[in-house]
Homo-oligomer: A and B are copies of this chain.
Amino acid sequence: MKEKSDLHIIVLGTAAGGGLPQWNCGCVNCSMARDPASGLRPQSQSSLAVSLDGEAWTVFNASPDIRQQIQDNRPLQPRRLRHSPIKSVVLTNGDIDHLAGLLVLREKQAFTVFSTAAVGRIIADNPVFQVLDPELVSRRIVAIEEPFAPLPGVEVRLFAVPGKVPLFLEEGEPDLGVEGEHTVGLELKTDTKRLYYIPGCAMLNDAVSARLNDADAVFFDGTLFSDDEMVAAGTGHKTGRRMGHMPIAGEGGSLDALAGLNIRRKVYVHINNTNPIWRPGSARELVEGRGFEVGFDGMEVCL
């Protein structure tokens, strides 16, 4: 029998911005993801759904793929003529791959959007988000470290992690590794469990490391395996760090930084289309050999 305090997590989307395949990309992974025979299934953009009872859900980041993600995951589908089990959305930054799904969640449905003031301002500054009827959709601004309850029985806090402003707000070279309200990690506690969702993190500092220790699960930024991966693949001129994402491997990578901590389940999410961990091979073996899991769309984690 299920215990009442079980925490149910569904990885709705595992890919970084653009998804796998990305619309204009013909890299090895994207080509494989277009070929059903390749064994590499398409993966949608980064989002997590969490529930205590399987009936009421909160969604962390609203990806542009959320309509398909709901279609692919029955627990998130309506139970009546007009209804949604999605009671709230929590945003960790203002990137398009975390925000655009709000435009899908229209049609007179009540829910609450939680974000920092910086991300809330992006929503307020873009009139298109007025499709979310303010009489039905509450926008709740939360301060860094302020506890709130996107579902009854859970306590969530947003905390600053090193990052940068969203790409479309960059003016010239952005400050990297700045802690503020633009990129946050998410901590969720129930009476017995503690989990983290950190889809973007430029660097793992001592404060964040100490916080993650003894967690039941950490869903962490797996954007790039190597810092220069997109340059090497010919799909971009930026390093991971320039994009606000620490690499998995190498010096200062998340493999080393997280491996020393006591964490029950470590799952990579927000994985870029160029990342070799998508497919069997040495990169994936290294990651799995060190006790990490590679997320996938529809992955269910029960804590």
Q: Please, what's the 1-or-0 string for A237-270, where 1 marks a CB less than 8 Å from any CB in chain B?
A: 0000000000000000000000000000000000
Can you tell how many copies of this chain the complex includes? 2
* Interface residue A42 (Cβ < 8 Å from any Cβ of B): yes
User: What residues of B have a CB within 8 angstroms of the CB of A107 in the complex?
Assistant: 17-18, 22-25
* Interface residue A151 (Cβ < 8 Å from any Cβ of B): no
Tell me, rounded to whole Å, the shortest Cβ–Cβ distance linking A289 to chain B.
Answer: 30
Q: How far is the CA of A26 from the CA of B104 in the complex (A)?
A: 16
Q: How far is the CA of A100 from the CA of B132 in the complex (A)?
A: 14
Identify which of A83, A103, A105, A122 gathers the most chain B CB atoms within 10 Å of its CB. A103
Q: When the two chains form their complex, are residues B26 and A127 in contact, meaning their CB atoms are under 8 A apart?
A: no
Range of interface residues on A (Cβ < 8 Å):
35 or more
Residues 82-138 of A contacting B (Cβ, < 8 Å):
82-84, 96, 99-100, 103-109, 122, 125-128, 130-131
Tell me, rounded to whole Å, the shortest Cβ–Cβ distance linking A232 to chain B.
Answer: 12
Q: When the two chains form their complex, are residues B96 and A34 in contact, meaning their CB atoms are under 8 A apart?
A: no
Tell me, rounded to whole Å, the shortest Cβ–Cβ distance linking A101 to chain B.
Answer: 9
Q: Please, what's the 1-or-0 string for A6-41, where 1 marks a CB less than 8 Å from any CB in chain B?
A: 000000000001110111111100100010000000
User: What residues of B have a CB within 8 angstroms of the CB of A70 in the complex?
Assistant: 23
Report if A23-B96 is in contact (Cβ < 8 Å); known contacts: A34-B71, A126-B127, A235-B82.
no
* Interface residue A291 (Cβ < 8 Å from any Cβ of B): no
Tell me, rounded to whole Å, the shortest Cβ–Cβ distance linking A15 to chain B.
Answer: 10
**Interface-lining segment among A50-58, A73-81, A183-191, A217-225:** A73-81
Tell me, rounded to whole Å, the shortest Cβ–Cβ distance linking A285 to chain B.
Answer: 26
Q: When the two chains form their complex, are residues A84 and B128 in contact, meaning their CB atoms are under 8 A apart?
A: no
Given A23-B78, A24-B109, 9 more A-B residue pairs with CB atoms under 8 Å apart are A18-B107, A21-B77, A23-B67, A23-B70, A23-B84, A23-B109, A24-B105, A34-B71, A128-B168
Top 6 A-B pairs ranked by shortest CB distance? A24-B84, A130-B168, A26-B78, A24-B109, A126-B126, A131-B168
